[in-house]
Amino acid sequence: MEDADSVATLLETTTSKIQQLQKAFAELESQRAVTLNLKWKQIEEHFHGLEKSLKRRFTELEDQEKDFEMKTVRAQQVIEKRRAVVMAKEESSLVRLQVKRDAAVTTISKTLGRNKNGDAQFVDEKPLDAVDSEAMKSLFEDGDVKLLTNPELAKFCEEMDAGGLHKFISDNRKNIASIKEEIPIALKAASDPGGLVLDSLCGFYVSEGSIIDGKKDANLLGLRRTCIMLMECLSVLLTNLDANTVSKVISVNVKDRAKIIAQEWKPKLDELDLDASNGNSLEAHAFLQLVATFGIDSDFVHDDLSKLIPMVCRRQQTADLCRFLGLSDKMPGVIDVLVNNGRHIDAVNLAFAFELTEQFCPVTLLKTYLAEAVKVPSTVKAGNASPTAQNDVSERELSALKAAIKCIEEHKFEHRYPLEPLQKRIIQLEKAKADKKRATEVVKPQSKRPRANGVAAGYGQRNTNISPDQNFYATRYAPPTQYMYDNRPPYAYPGPPENHVHTFVGTPTYNIAPNQGNYFGNGYQYQAPYLH
């Protein structure tokens, strides 16, 4: 700006300079000895032209400077915005990095424990059962076992009573949260924590058909959840121990027992149905937890383990189990399996858990999921769908919309997939459902209170062929019965005329004019519905 001001000042003094030059030129012309061909007018025009040219260039430079300043301001604003975005991403990355760091530390500690355990196989073949119980307890003397709010847990662990531990947990399901927090501490009182947990698995499969029956048996479901919880608590205990202690808790003997149990469970998993499990299979979860807790994953192929992930993908512990077992690189294939089976919500959850949203776009997956939900099954011909089939499609769409909204809210990507259109569609479907329900209730006839003889109170069988004046007799006299016309003694009711048909099935014998009712020879009127 200082240079521009100095240039502007010089331009303003141009006129005075030209006047001074004019005086000097006049003085020079008066003193000249030789006549000059130049005239002052020409020189003046030349300098005025230079002045105009300089002013024009100066104005252009000022305009360019203003444009440059505006662009600089806009660039700074863009830089500030990008800086804010980068800072937010850095903070988010730091949080994720911290989570991964914690998971890595846990994995490394467990891996070190398994390696130490593997080395112990050659150094110390002495089984854990032969180790003195008092010496084993001394490894865990931290003083925190005495502070348990449920001291019975420590008692059952100290006595190695797996059955009593199961029963105590089952009887105190209301306090399951506090119990789960204290079990890792209580396991320190056991002489063989790993063996105690393995003992607790003996009732997981009660029979050959337990996979099917277990889905209906509430007691067996509770027992299986307890088995999984005990293995998880043992993993928590192992995480907080040093490598030497871990190698003693999960000794060679305990690991061999865990391998035998896993080999027994593996064939049973082949009978599981992927669709029937619905991503919440306790059997598959227990198997993966057994392999992870006791460090026997090296005995199984990772491809076989990854095939079980779709059966447990809705359980909270799935992501941690997959990372611990080293199955993270198998997740793209697992997500493909879920998508091909129409389980797009589970696919979105795994994509977020393993940061695969760029490869599997959540918005695209949810849109495909909602589009599949409104499709009429191929078994129903197009344009000929029954009301029941239409209701099924509406219910399926309603459930899909609610599941999609829940998924979007959980993973917080409303900015990519707005909720408002989905919520409006839910309101439309629920209103249509309520309207259909009200219409059905209006059409549905009112039920009559039955009487002891099976006829509704205040109402009798109705014959529309009987005139109003004849209904008086129809409502007061019972219709004739079969025994009136059987071969009876003389004191019985008189029999029918000879031309009367003895069976009551068919049309009446007498041809009476319409709306005159049906009559027998005895003069009594009867109603047609009683004939059937």
Residue-wise pLDDT tens digits, 120-140: 333 333 333 333 444 444 444
Task: Quote the CA–CA distance of 348 and 337 in Å, as a whole number.
Answer: 12
How confident is the model at residue 230, as a pLDDT? Answer: 94
Residues 6+ apart with CB under 8 A from 57: none
Average predicted confidence (pLDDT) for the chain: 75
Share of the chain above pLDDT 70, in %: 67
Reduced to 3 states (helix: H, G, I; strand: E, B; else coil), residue 518 is strand
How confident is the model at residue 453, as a pLDDT? Answer: 54
> Which segment, 300-304, 475-479, 488-492, is predicted with the most confidence on average?
300-304
Other beta carbons less than 10 A from residue 240's beta carbon: 14
Q: Could you tell me which residue, 147 or 322, shows the higher pLDDT? A: 322
| Cross-strand bridge partners of residue 525 | 519
- Residue ranges in 187-327 assigned as alpha helix (H): 193-199, 210-213, 218-239, 243-249, 252-269, 274-277, 282-293, 302-306, 309-312, 318-324
State the average pLDDT over residues 225-231: 93
Task: Note whether 515 and 467 are within 8 A (CB).
Answer: yes
Of 344, 237, 354, which Cα lies nearest the Cα of 306? 354
pLDDT in tens, 392-445: 788 888 999 999 999 999 999 999 999 999 999 999 999 988 888 888 776 656
Of 190, 183, 159, 158, which Cα lies nearest the Cα of 169? 183
How confident is the model at residue 124, as a pLDDT? Answer: 36
Task: Quote the CA–CA distance of 47 and 22 in Å, as a whole number.
Answer: 11
Task: Quote the CA–CA distance of 134 and 137 in Å, as a whole number.
Answer: 5
Q: Could you tell me which residue, 332 or 389, shows the higher pLDDT? A: 332
How confident is the model at residue 443, as a pLDDT? Answer: 61
pLDDT in tens, 61-85: 888 888 888 888 888 888 888 888 8
Task: Quote the CA–CA distance of 62 and 75 in Å, as a whole number.
Answer: 20
- Residue ranges in 313-386 assigned as alpha helix (H): 318-324, 331-340, 344-353, 362-373
**What sign has the CA pseudo-torsion 47, 51, 56, 62?**
positive
Other beta carbons less than 10 A from residue 531's beta carbon: 14
How confident is the model at residue 245, as a pLDDT? Answer: 83
In which residue are the tokens 């249509």 written?
432
Task: Quote the CA–CA distance of 291 and 339 in Å, as a whole number.
Answer: 27
Task: Quote the CA–CA distance of 216 and 356 in Å, as a whole number.
Answer: 36
Q: Could you tell me which residue, 225 or 91, shows the higher pLDDT? A: 225
Of 172, 190, 219, which Cα lies nearest the Cα of 129? 190
**What sign has the CA pseudo-torsion 488, 490, 491, 496?**
positive
DSSP state at residue 385 = -
Residue 374 vs residues 337, 377, 393, 426, 435: alpha-carbon distances, Å: 21, 9, 6, 13, 20
Task: Note whether 315 and 277 are within 8 A (CB).
Answer: no
Q: Give 2-53 as a 3 state SS string.
A: HHHHHHHHHHHCHHHHHHHHHHHHHHHHHHCCCCCCCCHHHHHHHHHHHHHH
State the average pLDDT over residues 297-312: 87
Task: Note whether 234 and 197 are within 8 A (CB).
Answer: yes
- Dihedral angle, C-alpha 300, 306, 307, 312, nearest 10 °: 110
pLDDT in tens, 286-296: 999 999 999 88
Task: Note whether 288 and 305 are within 8 A (CB).
Answer: yes
User: Please, which pLDDT band fits residue 143 given cuts at 50, 70 and 90?
Assistant: very low
Reduced to 3 states (helix: H, G, I; strand: E, B; else coil), residue 508 is coil
Q: Could you tell me which residue, 115 or 339, shows the higher pLDDT? A: 339
Q: How many CA atoms lie within 13 A of 226 on its CB side?
A: 28
Task: Quote the CA–CA distance of 229 and 145 in Å, as a whole number.
Answer: 19
How confident is the model at residue 3, as a pLDDT? Answer: 67
pLDDT in tens, 89-116: 787 777 777 777 777 777 776 666 554 4
DSSP state at residue 128 = G
